Structure 1
Amino acid sequence: MHTGNSNSEWLETDGLNKTGSITRGFSVGNRQDFSLNSSLNLMLSGKLNNDLEIQAAISDNNIPIQPEGNTQQIQEFDKVYIRLQKDKTAFTAGDIECQSSSSNYFLKYNRKAQGGDFQTTFSPQLTNNDEMHIGFSGAFGKGRYARQEITSIEGNQGPYKLKGNNNETFIIVLAGSEKIFIDGALLVRGEDNDYIIDYNTAEIIFTSKIAVSSKSRIVVEFEYSDKNYARSLITTDIDYVSGKFFTGFSMVSESDLKNQSVQQDLNNEQKLIMSLVGDSINQAYSSGIDSIGFTTERVMYAMIDSLGYDSVFIYSTSSDSALYALTFSYVGKNNGNYTQTGSSANGRVFKWVAPVAGISQGEYEPVILLITPKKKEMYTFKAGYQFSKNTVLNAEYAISNNDINLFSNIGDENNAGHALTVNFKNLQPVGKDTIKKWSLSTNIRTEVTDRSFAEIDRFRSVEFSRDWNLDLMEINKNTWFGLVNVLLQNAQKDKFSMNSGFFMRDAANASYQNSLLISKSWENLRIVSSASYLVSPAGGNNARFLRYQNQLERKLGVFSIGVEANGESNLINSIDSNRLHTSSFAWQSEKFYTAFADSSGRSGKMFYQYREDQIADSNRLIPQTYTTDLGFETSGPVFGVNQLLLRTTYRKVIYKTTTTPNEEFLLGRAEYNGRIHKRFMVFGINYEAGSGMEAKKEFSYLEVTPGQGVYTWNDYNGNNIRELDEFEPAAFSDEGNFIRVYTPTNEYVRVFSSQLSGNMAMSPAEWIKRNKGPLKFFTRLNNRCAFSWDKKTSSNQASEMYIPFNGEANDTMLVAQNANWRNVLAFKTTDSHLTVSWMNSDNHNRGLLTNGFEDRQTRTDELKIGKTFFKSWILELAGQKGIKNYTSEYFASSNYSIEEQNFKPSLAWQPGTTFRWSLLFQYAEKNNTIGMQNAIVRKGGTELKFSKAGKGLALLQFNMLQISYNGVTDSNLGYIMLEGLKPGRNFTWSASIQRTLGNNMQLNFIYDGRASEGNPVVHTGNVQVRVFF
């Protein structure tokens, strides 16, 4: 987006600030179709008149990806809306966020949508002192709410994959919609906080602040993009307050429009299938076999008989037999007859696997799980009365409607549900102590829900089911929940709290829980102690669930020392046999720590923790694991203004009930940012180590509007079928007709990861202030360096696990690596008439694909010397030496190692600031050391540049290239070594004009052309007009 002047002449409006631009253009060429392109980006804010305010973000860009989720704050770059406001009335249209009223108990939701939202507050004057708030929104929902409990893995920081409600494995999470909990605690997003998330692949990685264990309870609530049907969203909130009385009504309706399917192209047969399955929606399977005839646009299959099994499908490129297009669904291990296999096809390929002893050996089937249209509604009515300043009574009644299959009436009798809650609160001051100000709070709540009541989003605490052992109880029951809380506390945060509650499904299924919390602080001493005890039935069993948490902390100046003792014991006994149920467990842990924090900003903490977990075995609890954790963290200024952060956690797990080898894990992060001798050297270094998983990646190529892509397809083998090893990065823009699409997989490899990144700038002139004498030379030097190494290995050797920059391409234990290094050393005279620079770079990328490893590396050394003479003549000499390596485990015939040497002299004449004429030369030698192919490129050209401030610029360029090559031209290697050209004589030319018209308009014209021996001339043109606000 271009930021324009708010006081521009075009669309001048007093009191209205405007920034943005409108762009219209077209592209045309003799090797591509005519295409139009346009964009609108406009930001408005201010007043339309004295009372009416406007705020708007308008854009016609449709960005299909979500922003990165590695920071606490998310910048939604595709949010489009218009908001009008007058006094206490506001209307918003476009991208909106619908949230439930904070006063609701049952009805909780937070949705991103596209539509309209109206909010107003006024006095209806029914009484002397009353106020009413009305809110209404009507929109199409952007996503669907999901809640997922993730099974954690010992020492695995991630990524953990999120799935949709229908077990969809490939989803896009709406940015900022997620809430992630571990052991009931809400986490904070960001690299410096608890976790990062990739919204586009729906993967979560926990930072070194969170050491994930097999006992971690991970719960994620989120919205994900669901395009099976268009989805309506209607919400209403009405709140009325009159003196001590208040009442309100709220409703929300989310409904799939069953006759407006988007991603699903439903036929009558599929609709009939869904109408017959009723609420058993997991059985709504349709055939994924489509006989469409042979085509090169899709992955095709032939049908054969194999080992006595008929209708077996195999991948085929034969136009005679490859007549079937198949859609496969993941049905679980040993539930299908197909498995994914490596292939050169531009898409996923599955192969049939014969059953063994009647048991399927695959996990995919050529079937489609039809997603039924759903509807979810809730209506709530609430009222309350404030008897006094400290006493209030309120109640809420809710009706829910949950239809999980709008195509079927079967099972609709259980769609409607009801719920009721009544709550009493009282707060009273205790005693006459005006310093401590003790108060007594009493809260009594009762809640009734019937068996069909369906929440919109979770309204109870995130671990409510675990707190009450509900996972072991029959869920299809009416429930009655009650809780009494008494809290005594003062202004110094001393508190004494008691809870007593019950959860009842029927007379034989009643759970009772009591809990106690004490927190007391003295001048240098603090004690916190809590305990809870639950007695509950659990499916023919009696359960006793005891939990406790205790902390004692002592302050010693800037230091503090403390001890914690926590534990749980959940004993479940059979009522009939009095034997211990296998779901019984217990654990206890002790933690010792010391911490410090001083006035300079330095802080730190060190701890030791021991934990024992027990499981049921032969009617008793026996040790399952012994876990030891040792951690250290410190942060703050060091050596003046430099900043240091160190964080590390060591864990050792001893397994007692299995043959699993004992495990050790090290998790750490280090950051150091500083400078030496003022700004002589400024640097920043970051290091992180941990363990997790690496997903096998899969790529395919998707055709887009000609010239709008990044990759080109060359049919090297002439079979007219698009294959993965036939796509290359486009050498010219008119050839860019494809983009590469990343598809996540379900295959993961356990890895240890280490990362090191940093940057450094060194300027001797900041240290050496004398401009005379032998040190004068060094003041003209400066150095810039940036590097990053990200390594993932399956080796358990410490040197491989924690050192990120020693990975080699032939290392079979190296799973993935992304290494980048760039250093530039420059020398410049005082008058800038002589400049010398040396650049060294090394980029290495290794990825684990479904077809095996793929390794790319580029190393370059470049020396540039520039000299100005006769004031207007500039001579530049550039020499470059480098190597390009590509290694593919699957496409071994495409491997190469190209050594390249370049010499590029140029001479330019620039008599002023408006004109520059250049002569360009290049001599390059390229040698593939694997196949001994050689290429020599001789290039000569000229360039004219005209520019004038405020008016525009023009650039004309013409080049002639003579190329000799002894290899196969129509091959991967040939395309790369020839850079998209042909052996013999080649010509390239271009013209670009940028013209500024007035204060608000810019015209851009770009023309490119090229010609090669024996090939037609290629012309490409682009015209664009841009208007700024």
Structure 2
Amino acid sequence: LNRFSSLDSEDDFGIAGFFRADYLKKFADKGKIQSDQHYLKANFLYEGIDEHFNPINPYREVEFSRNWNLDQTTEKTQEHLVSSLFELKLSGYTASYQFSSLVKSGNFNGYRHQPSIGWVKGKFLAKLYGDFLWTDGVLETSTFFKPFFDVRYKGKMALGFTFNREKNVIKAIDSAIPGIRSFAFDNYRLFWDMNNNEKNQVQFFVSYREDFLPKEAQLVKNHYAVDAGLKGFWNKGEKMRIDYNINYRQLKVIATSVNPAIKTTGTMLGNLTHRYTSSNDLLILNTRAEIISGQEPKAEYIFIEVTNAGQGNYIWVDSNGDDIKQKGEFELSPFGDNANYIKIAQYNHSFIRVNTTMLYHDFQLNAAKFFKDGQKGFVASQLKRLSLLGNFRLDQKIRESNDGGFSAPFYLNPQDSILVGFHATSNITLYYNKANQVYDIRIESRYNQANDVQIDGLVRLAGRRDKVAVRYSGLQNIDLISSLNSGFNNYMAELYPVKNYAIDQFEFEQELRYRITKGIAVQGKYTFLSKKNQTGNYETLAGHKSELKISVRNLNQFNISAGLTYSRMNYSGQPGNSIELAMMEGLKDGNNYQWNIQAGRRMGNNVEMNIIYSGRKTGIIKTVHIASIQAKARF
């Protein structure tokens, strides 16, 4: 860019300016005191812009072009905007009139009239407003009429009615036929608010709207919509509160030939929240439900190979042995250093209408709060040690019914073909003697289930894990933890049956933690695991795993940790497929060694440096060494 060149410099200089004058005259009320309730207001505005002026920042309202029905003329010309306003207010009466003119030399002439009348008497309010526009342009002429009426009552409850119309007729020069940008609608709305206080609030509205679109030589009724909404809350002190907000819209298309893109649909948006806390905190409940309906683009996923291994998240496992990369053959990598594929979502121009629903609930039960302080007895002493926590979440995407109506919000059967997406999780944990310094018992159950049809065909996953863990810390600086785990892990791919599995699993773990000093700790762990696939080739796995870890830490200076894991696996299945990956989690049949060393040091108050080294030797595969350096800075 040569800023000193004189070529094409004719439009380098532009001029714009404006002038505004305001007048305000207040009148005295009956007490001969000037008041804001009695006044006469007037103003005058002029804006001038030459054809070479280019604004750096927007200086007009966002709806300026729409309000003036500016056509698609791109040629820049001089612009002149003139506006004058007169407003008179006497007690509860208000009247105003505004006239505006926009002239783009040789291209556009527009004239706009905006009258308004208002009345307020006690708790009653009424307003009538109009916005009327006539324009002449190089390519088209237009008339735009926007009347608006509002009447309402405000007391302990509020009741009101509004009506607004927009009719915009845009015609080509020397044509009597409305253009494609022409439209009209009538909107009627009734609302009701009641009991607006700290304990209870209810807001309700219903509206009816008719839309008209151009067809042949006139605007015809194309569709209508009925909207209804309910919003509010109810609470009972600090114990319980319910919040809700529900909106439903039914759109009915009459003339499908005018605009085929507009279809009959039912749409719902809503959420409900419930919170409850008992007076003594014995029971705490939280529940939330959400419903959203609408259309979303169809998503397709592709897997792209990255330049360097370790920069991705996925690996390719050729499950069917055809040496062809297929979408369903990519698996999450158990080791980050060999992940050489990433998953990318691609969206096309196809849309589907779905109803998205979410249900979440969590609870907390503390049995100790049920008993009085000092209450004795064996049953009471044992029950006081119990506490229960849990949560549940359900996410669904449900394909909309064929008639455009809103489907039922929840389908608890994930086998139903109407489900586009399904994901359910639950976690429940029972504690005995929680946070006791000597011992505690934990019983937990975790479950998850999911359906996915967006990668490559239908894929169903399900898993469950039940665990019992006992901790004993009666010995000085020593913790003993024993646990039993059982559960299953299922996978079904409609297009890749060789990947399907139903794995039952069992684990026993014994862990010892020894704190030598305040900054030095040693941890040892032994695990026995057994897995069996109940389908396909009925693969089995029996394994033993031993882990040793030591850590040295100075809270404000440095930390060093080192770990070594030895795993002995006896696997009966074929190597190199997705079932082996699911059962052994990246390990191999035979001996497996994994080790790591990490050293970190704080460099000042906000900088931390870490050096990390890890390695593994899995089965007969060559040894892998990985080293990295990290620097963290907090600002």
**TM superposition score category, shorter chain reference:** 0.7 to 0.9
Moved more, 687-696 or 1006-1015: 1006-1015
Q: Compared with structure 1, are the counterparts of its residues 818 and 831 closer, same or farther at alpha carbon in structure 2 (3 Å cutoff)?
A: closer
Q: Does 1:981 align with 2:580?
A: no
Is the 2:38–2:91 contact (alpha carbons within 8 Å) kept by the matching residues of 1? no
Alignment match, 2:504:
899
Alignment match, 1:753:
356
Query: 1:963 Cα shift?
Result: 1.4
Alignment match, 2:306:
703
Give the Cα separation in 1 of the matches to 2:302 and 2:82: 54
Q: Does 1:653 align with 2:256?
A: no
Q: Compared with structure 1, are the counterparts of its residues 789 and 456 closer, same or farther at alpha carbon in structure 2 (3 Å cutoff)?
A: farther
Which one of the candidate residues 46, 67, 76 is aligned to 1:446? Answer: 46
Give the Cα separation in 2 of the matches to 1:694 and 1:795: 12
- Equivalent residue letter for 1:730: S
Query: 1:515 Cα shift?
Result: 0.6
Q: Compared with structure 1, are the counterparts of its residues 598 and 925 closer, same or farther at alpha carbon in structure 2 (3 Å cutoff)?
A: same
Give the Cα separation in 2 of the matches to 1:911 and 1:895: 48
Give the Cα separation in 1 of the matches to 2:213 and 2:444: 61
Is the 1:805–1:819 contact (alpha carbons within 8 Å) kept by the matching residues of 2? no
Give the Cα separation in 1 of the matches to 2:434 and 2:396: 41
Alignment match, 1:318:
none
Is the 2:320–2:498 contact (alpha carbons within 8 Å) kept by the matching residues of 1? no
Matches within 5 A, 1:204-353: none
Is the 1:427–1:439 contact (alpha carbons within 8 Å) kept by the matching residues of 2? no
Name the larger-Rg structure: 2
Which structure is higher in RCO with an 8 Å CA cutoff and minimum separation 6? 1
- Equivalent residue letter for 1:840: S
Alignment match, 2:67:
467
Q: Compared with structure 1, are the counterparts of its residues 579 and 677 closer, same or farther at alpha carbon in structure 2 (3 Å cutoff)?
A: same
TM-score between both structures, scaled by the size of structure 2: 0.84
Is the 1:671–1:685 contact (alpha carbons within 8 Å) kept by the matching residues of 2? yes
Alignment match, 1:561:
159
SS at match of 2:412: coil
- Equivalent residue letter for 1:1012: T
Which one of the candidate residues 417, 427, 430 is aligned to 2:23? Answer: 427
Query: 1:930 Cα shift?
Result: 3.9
Q: Does 1:670 align with 2:272?
A: yes
Matches within 5 A, 1:366-515: 418=14, 420-432=16-28, 433-436=33-36, 438-449=38-49, 455-456=55-56, 458-471=58-71, 474-476=73-75, 478=77, 480-488=79-87, 496-505=95-104, 509-515=108-114
Output one character per residue of 1:394-435: Cα deviation in whole Å (capped at 9) or x when no partner: xxxxxxxxxxxxxxx9xx799768453422221323223433
- Equivalent residue letter for 2:419: L
Query: 1:1004 Cα shift?
Result: 4.5
Alignment match, 1:777:
382
Q: Does 1:607 align with 2:169?
A: no
Give the Cα separation in 2 of the matches to 1:1000 and 1:656: 66
Is the 1:689–1:802 contact (alpha carbons within 8 Å) kept by the matching residues of 2? no
SS at match of 1:849: coil
Matches within 5 A, 1:528-543: 528-537=127-136, 542-543=141-142
Which one of the candidate residues 337, 360, 385 is aligned to 1:734? Answer: 337
Give the Cα separation in 2 of the matches to 1:979 and 1:494: 78
Matches within 5 A, 1:908-919: 908-909=513-514, 913=518, 916-919=521-524
Query: 1:649 Cα shift?
Result: 1.5
SS at match of 1:658: coil
Is the 2:516–2:522 contact (alpha carbons within 8 Å) kept by the matching residues of 1? no
Q: Compared with structure 1, are the counterparts of its residues 667 and 875 closer, same or farther at alpha carbon in structure 2 (3 Å cutoff)?
A: same
Alignment match, 1:1020:
626
Query: 1:531 Cα shift?
Result: 0.5
Query: 1:969 Cα shift?
Result: 1.1
Alignment match, 1:332:
none
What runs of 5+ residues in structure 1 fail to find an aligned partner?
1-254, 258-374, 376-408
Q: Compared with structure 1, are the counterparts of its residues 844 and 417 closer, same or farther at alpha carbon in structure 2 (3 Å cutoff)?
A: farther
Is the 1:788–1:821 contact (alpha carbons within 8 Å) kept by the matching residues of 2? yes
Query: 1:713 Cα shift?
Result: 5.2
Is the 1:934–1:966 contact (alpha carbons within 8 Å) kept by the matching residues of 2? yes
Alignment match, 1:880:
485
Give the Cα separation in 1 of the matches to 2:219 and 2:337: 70
Query: 1:864 Cα shift?
Result: 1.6
Output one character per residue of 1:54-102: Cα deviation in whole Å (capped at 9) or x when no partner: xxxxxxxxxxxxxxxxxxxxxxxxxxxxxxxxxxxxxxxxxxxxxxxxx
Give the Cα separation in 1 of the matches to 2:603 and 2:216: 87
Alignment match, 1:694:
296
Q: Does 1:764 align with 2:360?
A: no
Give the Cα separation in 2 of the matches to 1:985 and 1:508: 84
SS at match of 1:766: helix
Alignment match, 1:931:
536
- Equivalent residue letter for 1:1019: H
Q: Compared with structure 1, are the counterparts of its residues 1001 and 748 closer, same or farther at alpha carbon in structure 2 (3 Å cutoff)?
A: closer
Query: 1:1014 Cα shift?
Result: 2.5
Output one character per residue of 1:741-797: Cα deviation in whole Å (capped at 9) or x when no partner: 444444432211111224333222234334523233232222222333221111439
Is the 1:859–1:884 contact (alpha carbons within 8 Å) kept by the matching residues of 2? yes
Is the 1:690–1:752 contact (alpha carbons within 8 Å) kept by the matching residues of 2? yes
Q: Does 1:527 align with 2:126?
A: yes
- Equivalent residue letter for 2:292: G
Is the 1:791–1:807 contact (alpha carbons within 8 Å) kept by the matching residues of 2? no
- Equivalent residue letter for 2:70: L
What runs of 5+ residues in structure 2 fail to find an aligned partner?
none
Query: 1:595 Cα shift?
Result: 0.9
- Equivalent residue letter for 1:762: L
Give the Cα separation in 2 of the matches to 1:577 and 1:830: 83
Give the Cα separation in 2 of the matches to 1:999 and 1:506: 66
Alignment match, 1:149:
none
- Equivalent residue letter for 1:470: L
Give the Cα separation in 2 of the matches to 1:768 and 1:485: 76
Is the 1:677–1:767 contact (alpha carbons within 8 Å) kept by the matching residues of 2? no
Give the Cα separation in 1 of the matches to 2:64 and 2:131: 14
Output one character per residue of 1:654-675: Cα deviation in whole Å (capped at 9) or x when no partner: 2222288743332211122331
Which one of the candidate residues 644, 663, 668 is aligned to 2:242? Answer: 644
Give the Cα separation in 2 of the matches to 1:778 and 1:891: 50
Is the 1:446–1:480 contact (alpha carbons within 8 Å) kept by the matching residues of 2? no
Which one of the candidate residues 971, 975, 985 is aligned to 2:577? Answer: 971
Matches within 5 A, 1:823-972: 823-828=428-433, 831-849=436-454, 851-871=456-476, 874-889=479-494, 891-909=496-514, 913=518, 916-947=521-552, 950=555, 954-972=560-578
Q: Compared with structure 1, are the counterparts of its residues 745 and 415 closer, same or farther at alpha carbon in structure 2 (3 Å cutoff)?
A: farther
Q: Compared with structure 1, are the counterparts of its residues 716 and 956 closer, same or farther at alpha carbon in structure 2 (3 Å cutoff)?
A: same
Query: 1:487 Cα shift?
Result: 4.9
Q: Compared with structure 1, are the counterparts of its residues 580 and 984 closer, same or farther at alpha carbon in structure 2 (3 Å cutoff)?
A: closer
Give the Cα separation in 1 of the matches to 2:22 and 2:487: 77
- Equivalent residue letter for 2:394: W
Give the Cα separation in 2 of the matches to 1:650 and 1:1001: 53
Is the 1:755–1:788 contact (alpha carbons within 8 Å) kept by the matching residues of 2? yes
Is the 2:386–2:431 contact (alpha carbons within 8 Å) kept by the matching residues of 1? yes
Give the Cα separation in 1 of the matches to 2:23 and 2:517: 81
Q: Compared with structure 1, are the counterparts of its residues 995 and 512 closer, same or farther at alpha carbon in structure 2 (3 Å cutoff)?
A: closer
Give the Cα separation in 1 of the matches to 2:550 and 2:253: 73
Is the 2:524–2:549 contact (alpha carbons within 8 Å) kept by the matching residues of 1? no
Is the 1:945–1:953 contact (alpha carbons within 8 Å) kept by the matching residues of 2? no
Percent identity between the two aligned chains? 20
